[in-house]
Structure 1
Amino acid sequence: MRITKVETLQADGGYRVCSYIKVSTDEGLVGWAEFYDGFSGTTLSPLILAFGKLAIGMDPRHFGRISESLLATTRVSAGGISHQAVAAIENACLDIAAKALGVPVYQLFGGPFRDRVPVYWTHCGSYRVRHAALYEELGYEPVRTLDDFTRLGREAVAQGFMGVKTNPVFFDREQPYMFNGGFRIAPGFLDRSINDAHLQAVVDQLSALREGIGPHMPLMLDVSFSQRPEGYLRLARRLEPLNMYWLELDIRDPEALAHIRNHTSTPIASLEAMHGLAEYRPYLAGRSVDTAIIDPMWNGVWQSVRIATLADAFETHIAPHNPVGELGNLMSLQLCAALPNIRIMELRPDEAPWTRDFVTQCPVMEAGHLLVPNTPGWGADVNEDALRAHPVRAA
Structure 2
Amino acid sequence: MRITALRSYMSHDGNRPRLVVAIDTDEGITGWGECYNHGPDRALPAILDYFFEQIKGEDPRRIEFLMLKLQQQARFPGGAMHLAAFSAIDHCLWDISAKAVNLPVYKLLGGEVRDKVRVYLGVYTAPDPADLLDQVMGHNEKYGLTAFKLSPYRVDFHAERWGEVVRTSAEYFRKLREMSPTHFEYAFDAHAKIYDPWQAVQLANALAPYDPLFFEEPIRPEHIPAWAEMKAKMLCPLATGESLYSRYEFLNLLSARGCDIAQPDICVVGGMLEMRKIAVLAEAHYVQIAPHNPMGPLATAVNLHFSASIPNFKILEYRLPLDAPYVKDPYLPEGGYLQLRPDRPGWGVEINEAELVRDSYVHWERKLPVKPDGSFGYP
Provide TM-score, normalisation by structure 2.
Answer: 0.87
Change in 2 beyond 3 A, CA 1:393/1:87:
closer
Q: How far apart, CA to CA, are the structure 2 residues paired with 1:65 and 1:273?
A: 26
Does structure 2 retain, via aligned residues, the 8 Å contact 1:153–1:209? no
Report what 2:374 is aligned to: none
Report what 2:370 is aligned to: none
Q: How far apart, CA to CA, are the structure 2 residues paired with 1:225 and 1:169?
A: 12
Q: How far apart, CA to CA, are the structure 1 residues paired with 2:172 and 2:49?
A: 43
How far off is 1:221 after superposition?
0.5
Aligned pairs for 1:41-52 (under 5 A) are: 43-52=43-52
How far off is 1:96 after superposition?
0.5
**1:13 is aligned to 2:13:** yes
Report what 2:264 is aligned to: 294
Change in 2 beyond 3 A, CA 1:245/1:54:
same
Q: How far apart, CA to CA, are the structure 2 residues paired with 1:40 and 1:171?
A: 31
How far off is 1:144 after superposition?
5.0
Q: What secondary structure sits across from 1:119 in the alignment?
A: strand
How far off is 1:298 after superposition?
1.2
Report what 2:349 is aligned to: 380
Q: Please point out which of 186, 194, 206 is paired with 1:219.
A: 186
Aligned pairs for 1:141-180 (under 5 A) are: 143-158=126-141, 159-170=143-154
Q: How far apart, CA to CA, are the structure 1 residues paired with 2:97 and 2:307?
A: 18
Report what 1:266 is aligned to: 236
Q: How far apart, CA to CA, are the structure 1 residues paired with 2:19 and 2:55?
A: 20
Change in 2 beyond 3 A, CA 1:258/1:244:
same
How far off is 1:171 after superposition?
5.5
Change in 2 beyond 3 A, CA 1:218/1:337:
same
* Paired AA for residue 296 in structure 1: I
Does structure 1 retain, via aligned residues, the 8 Å contact 2:23–2:30? yes
Percent identity for Structure 1 against Structure 2: 28
Change in 2 beyond 3 A, CA 1:63/1:266:
same
Q: How far apart, CA to CA, are the structure 2 residues paired with 1:95 and 1:347?
A: 21
How far off is 1:53 after superposition?
2.1
How far off is 1:332 after superposition?
0.7
Deviations 1:331-370 (A, max 9, x none): 1100011101100111122x4x342x42232224221110
Q: How far apart, CA to CA, are the structure 1 residues paired with 2:314 and 2:114?
A: 12
Does structure 2 retain, via aligned residues, the 8 Å contact 1:20–1:35? yes
Report what 2:204 is aligned to: 236
Report what 2:376 is aligned to: none
Deviations 1:182-222 (A, max 9, x none): xxxxxx7xx9x982222233324433543453344221001
How far off is 1:13 after superposition?
2.5
* Paired AA for residue 263 in structure 1: K
Change in 2 beyond 3 A, CA 1:13/1:78:
closer
Provide TM-score, normalisation by structure 1.
Answer: 0.84
Q: How far apart, CA to CA, are the structure 2 residues paired with 1:364 and 1:42?
A: 29
The Cα RMSD (Å) is 2.4
* Paired AA for residue 120 in structure 1: Y
* Paired AA for residue 306 in structure 2: L
Change in 2 beyond 3 A, CA 1:171/1:247:
closer
Does structure 2 retain, via aligned residues, the 8 Å contact 1:99–1:376? yes
